[in-house]
Amino acid sequence: MHRDNVDRYQVQPAPSLAGRKRLGSYLVEAGLINRGQIEVALNDQKVTGMKLGEILVTRGWIKQQTVEYFMENIVVPERQRVSTKARS
């Protein structure tokens, strides 16, 4: 973690996911949640150990079906594509 210009902590991606988009990024890009909600959920994640999607659903910000759709149709296929490309 490091501090940015507004003195807030920024979460750095785990090394195994470096260069890969995370679920939260896709949800923000789709306009389903905002960066503030991601920050709150990431803080919750540190305390609870829950997955980001679980936190967003528990807080009522998105539906479980939305998390499942994004994971199954966007996040996982993209990670597999990047992983396959990296091995080539």
Contact 27, 62 (CB under 8 A): yes
Return the closest-CA partner of residue 21 out of 33, 11, 13: 13
67: how many CB neighbours lie within 10 A of its CB?
19
Q: Identify the three-state secondary structure at position 3.
A: strand
| Structure confidence by residue, pLDDT tens digits, 52-72 | 999 999 999 999 999 999 999
Give percent of the chain with pLDDT exceeding 70: 77
Alpha helices in the chain (DSSP H): 23-29, 35-48, 52-58, 64-70, 76-87
The residue ranges of every structural domain in the chain are 20-69
Give percent of the chain with pLDDT exceeding 90: 65
pLDDT classification of 4: cutoffs 50, 70, 90: very low
